[in-house]
Structure 1
Amino acid sequence: MYTSVSDVISSLVSESSLHGLPKILSSKRWYQRILWICLVLVTFGFLVHQLYQLFCEYKRYPVKTKVSMKRATLPFPAVSFCNMNPMKKSQMKHIKGTELYNYVMNKFSFDASSTSIYGSEFDNNDYNLDPNDYQYKNDLYLDDYVPSSGSVNESLVTNVNTNTHDNDYAYFDSFSDYHDLFSDDVEESDLLNALDDFINFVSRQRALQDDPRSEEVKRFMVLFQNETKDTRAHLGHSIDDILINCSFNGKICSAKNFTLFQTLDFGNCYTLSSEMYETRRTGPRNGLQIILQLEKFEQVGDFLEGSGVRLVIHPPGTLPFPAEEGFTLSSGYETSIGMKMVSLSRSKPPYGKCVDGDDFYRTYGVHYTVTTCINLCRNTKVLHFCNCRPSENIVDIEYMNQFADLPVCSLVEKTNSTTKQSCENYVYYQIEEGVIKCECESACNETVYKSTLSGRVWPRESFLNDELLGTACSYRNYSYCREKGRQLLHVQHS
């Protein structure tokens, strides 16, 4: 019978399964008791340490990466491509009298004998184009950029920079103006540091010499951006003109299966995507086969150094960005592309940090990708802070059409002590330095296509003459088509 609390505690300790505690009571000498107390405290400390480590590991929400491979019927990816020539020479009648027309006519080489192509010849479908009229004038190209003395043509640089101002960024010296623009979105302490960094960055950039060729292309893109979407669509290559043949898994596809989208770098681009397209077997005959006519004779003088197609393979429903993604296919070649689909699933918070994309889709009407998010962030931040359209590529979605009436930032005249272009450049700098946050995390579910390319010279001359030209000329009246017709007629008569 227990007579006190100490008796109860002594009984519990002496009968405890923790071996060290009974030894403390049963020890007959004081130093034995101290030794057991120390051992119990040390082991208890190890216990606490282990529990703390387990708790920390739990709070880190660790994940396990699982990789599996399987063969199955897969939806065919969306395929987007662009003719790398953004503007057809024969369609410049649509912009005659505009600043873009005058700039192109003055800056890029033209054959004087072909100036009639801008006249009434193109008011009907009886095209009379001679590919020989549209060859590059390399001698003029070199004379424009590298004079015989080897120095840069200063008048050319001056013309390129007619819209720049020596004091574009002077208004940033007044913190009050700068504060009004960004104070609602950026911490004030970050503003001052970012302002100093930006001014130093601009100073370093201005100490470097501009490449005249790059500046001309930038100027062209700005003026091209200033045209309406309908005008740019008329200027670019039509899918009806460039698509000669298309088949998927042995079934014919046509121009009506392609969707138009526009980019600042390449003009008209086209996407082929359908839920009906599925991949069941490997091999070139079980995939997509396309033959394209690049219309090299339509290139505008020396604007392009070459010709080709920019191609992007991407998940259906997502936006392609040909200038940033994909690869270039050369003309005069057959390119075979083998693909492997990789499906990534990332854990949501608290086990991971990813975006499911539902809110993004409700806002913009397109599926979420990191590239789409970053590009839209750059576009919308410039629109928000500067109240003008970005001078760089604008994402071609319906959401952005509401801003079509705003002027292009770099074409807005300087007012007071500020310019829209300097505001635009500063917004980009803030985004790139992380002062303005875009919050573009990886998607929780993402599909990536890994590609392998191989190719050969194409086509064989007999195939070109016997079949390909006939297919290409069946609905067009190019000059080489009429020559081909005369050759066939001569063969028949003989």
Structure 2
Amino acid sequence: MSQAKHNLIHKCSFNGKPCDIDKDFELVADPTFGNCFVFNHDREIFKSSVRAGPQYGLRVMLFVNASDYLPTSEAVGIRLTIHDKDDFPFPDTFGYSAPTGYISSFGMRMKKMSRLPAPYGDCVEDGTTSNYIYKGYAYSTEGCYRTCFQELIIDRCGCSDPRFPSIGGVQPCQVFNKNHRECLEKHTHQIGEIHGSFKCRCQQPCNQTIYTTSYSEAIWPSQALNISLGHCEKEAEECNEEYKENAAMLEVFYEALNFEVLAESEAYGIVKMMADFGGHLGLWSGVSVMTCCEFVCLVLELLYMAVTHHITQERIRRRENAANDF
């Protein structure tokens, strides 16, 4: 069971100004949580915070209407995920839970990751792969695993899991087709759902934007609050009690207007290798020439000493012969 946009979102502001709920939020169907709504989805419109802090971020009041929850529901609250515009949201994997009856503040900081492709590393360069099921969105590791899951279902059943986008025009498995239904149930159980331990080769993207968050909360609404909230037309005390049980206030903001860049670089590149090669070549070539020169000088000195010794001995012999003649 899911809620419509205006039933869920009662109030919203961004950068201190009211939101346009119809235009600023886009519906995205999630297989786990049903209707999800993405804020700041339009890639042609640039929304920015002029300053850091909760007053200049996103503030939204959400009404979950806990009385509509099924008896199998484990918790009451809101599921929130913070992601880049180009990334498809996966709230079941990367989401944060916010309870009703509280104002939940999520302070975020942005990090940009830059990884090296082959031959230095193993990442996806172009931001997507040929069979990636989330067309129009940047490649992510989680999206790759879900693509792999869909490929396994198509390979074994001949139809795709209707919870996810299909591949190559393959038709989704029909609910009223007994063979499709039994095959999908059987192999989904064998694989272990999308979070199972099936083996897939999913690399990290070469360029990625991630957000780290810090969380804090406070009781909301205050018992001293004497104004009506949202769409409630009852007395202030009754409205506060109703919103305490069924609503939550969220704040999402930048803790600082700067970001961190983490970039990989090769430990030993071609330029450094050529420089070291030239240095070693010069060193060893220089040593070899000097050594050869020293050997030549040694040979010349030995020859000079031998010739000098021979001449000296010859002179001494001649003097001795001349003395004997007299």
Q: Normalising to structure 1: TM-score of the pair?
A: 0.42
* Residue among 2, 13, 28 paired with 1:261: 28
Distance 1:252 1:345, change over 3 A: same
Q: Which amino acid aligns with 2:228?
A: E
Alignment partner for residue 202 of structure 2, among 432, 440, 444?
A: 440
Q: 2:10 aligns with which of 237, 241, 244?
A: 244
Q: Deviations over 1:275-333 (max 9, x none)?
A: 42113421111111111111112223x12133100100011121111111121100000
Give distance in 1, aligned partners of 2:168 and 2:37. 19
2:110 pairs with one of 338, 341, 346: 341
**Percent same amino acid at aligned positions?**
27
Does structure 1 retain, via aligned residues, the 8 Å contact 2:157–2:180? no
Shift of 1:433: 4.9
Which of structures 1 and 2 has the bigger CA Rg?
Answer: 2
Which residue identity is paired with 1:447?
T
Contact 2:106-2:216 within 8 A present in 1 as well: yes
Letter in 1 for 2:186: S
Counterpart CA distance in 2 for 1:328 and 1:447 is 22
Instruction: Establish whether residue 330 from structure 1 lines up as the match of residue 99 from structure 2.
Output: yes
* Structure 2 CA distance for aligned equivalents of residues 424 and 384 of structure 1: 12
| Structure 2 runs not aligned, ≥5 long | 240-326
1:348 deviates by 1.4
Q: Which amino acid in the other structure matches residue 350 of structure 1?
A: P
User: Structure 1: which amino acid aligns with 2:147?
Assistant: L
Corresponding residue number in structure 1 for 2:59: 289
1:196-275 matched pairs, under 5 angstroms = 236-256=2-22, 257-273=24-40, 274=42, 275=45
Matched, 1:472 2:238: no
Letter in 2 for 1:248: F
2:215 corresponds to which residue? Answer: 453
Question: Residue 342 of structure 1 contacts residue 448 of structure 1 at CA under 8 Å; is this kept in 2?
Answer: yes
Question: 2:152 maps to what in 1?
Answer: 381
Structure 1 residue 250: deviation in Å?
A: 0.9
Partner of 2:75: 306
- Counterpart CA distance in 1 for 2:56 and 2:113 is 25
Greater RCO structure (CA 8 Å; 6+ sep): 2
For 2:93, give the aligned amino acid.
E
Instruction: Provide the C-alpha distance between the structure 1 equivalents of 2:83 and 2:190, rounded to a whole number of angstroms.
Output: 32
1:369/1:442 contact within 8 Å kept: yes
Aligned with 2:94: secondary structure?
coil
CA contact 2:161–2:184 (8 Å) conserved in 1: no
Aligned residues: 230
CA RMSD of aligned residues (A): 3.2
Q: Is the 8 A contact 1:388 1:408 kept in 2?
A: no
User: Which of 157, 166, 186 is equivalent to 1:422?
Assistant: 186
* Deviations, residues 189-228 of structure 1 (Å, cap 9, x unaligned): xxxxxxxxxxxxxxxxxxxxxxxxxxxxxxxxxxxxxxxx
Question: Secondary structure of 2:227's match?
Answer: helix
Secondary structure of the structure 2 residue equivalent to 1:313: coil
Match of 2:60, SS?
strand
Once the two structures are superposed, the pairs formed by residues 132-147 of structure 1 within 5 Å of their partners are none
Instruction: Check the 8 A contact 1:412/1:420 in 2, yes or no.
Output: no
Letter in 2 for 1:239: K
TM-score with structure 2 setting the length: 0.62
In structure 1, the gaps of 5 or more residues are 1-86, 88-235, 474-480, 489-494
* Gap change, CA 1:323 and 1:401, over 3 Å in 2: farther
1:371 aligns with 2:130: no
Provide the C-alpha distance between the structure 2 equivalents of 1:305 and 1:433, rounded to a whole number of angstroms.
27
Q: Give the 3 Å change call, closer, same or farther, for CA 343–384 of structure 1 in structure 2.
A: same
Residue 299 of structure 1 aligns with an amino acid whose one-letter code is: Y
